[in-house]
Structure 1
Amino acid sequence: MKMQWALIAGLVFALLTGIFAVINVDSVQVNLLFNTVRVPLILLILGCTLIGGIIVGSYGIYRQYRLQRENKRLHLRVAELEASAASATTSVSYDNMDSTRSAEPEHDHQLHNDSIQTQPKGNNTGTL
């Protein structure tokens, strides 16, 4: 939608500039610092408008290029951070697994010793 408004505004500006240039067809004197020339005002208006359009267009292209380059750099940075976070998560989960494995045998051994000590000695059926 924003692009459509910009296109409409550009067309309106071009129409107004064209009308203004056609109305002013008289020849004018232009001082070029080193020489003075007489040029029809219509050419001067259209030439200045064209130069202004080229300057604004060049700046827009430069800005678009700079934004694309920054966007690419930020995408690479995000991918790098995601890879770093994924590797950190993987190593943390492996560390947790190792710590639980090392704790399990001691716990099982302790349970085994407790169960041996609490077992009744002798015949538990009540018969001789």
Structure 2
Amino acid sequence: MKKLQWYVILGIVFALIVAIFAVVNVDKVDVNYVFGTAHWPLILVILGSVAMGGIIVGSVMAVRIISLTKQIKELTNERIAYNELADNDLNTHPKS
């Protein structure tokens, strides 16, 4: 639980730093695309970059969580099968 609290605190601190940095940089900048150029405020470029980074990290973490959940399910089923096999072995060959 404490680890989660530290993540929340660090997330808030990071968000504040990005927000302060973005508010200070309000000049218009040229954003070059493959098909053209646009003039956007730097604050939108910064916030958009942070948002895209968050989406990428969140997507990678979601894939990792799904993979680990699948692995946990497989290992749990394997453990249950081993326990049933051990119980059957003890029932068919009782100790004297």
TM-score (norm. length: structure 2): 0.93
Q: 1:2 and 1:63 mapped to 2: Cα distance? A: 19
The residue type equivalent to 1:8 in the other structure is: I
Q: What is the RMSD of the two structures over their aligned residues, measured on CA atoms?
A: 1.2
Q: 1:8 and 1:65 mapped to 2: Cα distance? A: 26
Select the structure of larger CA radius of gyration. 1
SS of aligned partner of 1:25: coil
Question: Between the two proteins, what is the percent identity of the paired residues?
Answer: 42
The residue type equivalent to 1:69 in the other structure is: K
Deviations 1:49-87 (A, max 9, x none): 111111111111221111111111111000000000111
Q: Could you tell me which runs of 5 or more consecutive residues in structure 1 were left unpaired when the two chains were aligned.
A: 98-128
Deviation at 1:92, TM superposition (A): 1.1
Alignment-derived partner of residue 83 in structure 2: 82
Alignment-derived partner of residue 34 in structure 1: 35
The answer to which structure, 1 or 2, has the higher relative contact order (CA under 8 A, 6+ apart) is: 2
Alignment length, in residue pairs? 95
The residue type equivalent to 1:91 in the other structure is: T
Q: Could you tell me which runs of 5 or more consecutive residues in structure 2 were left unpaired when the two chains were aligned.
A: none
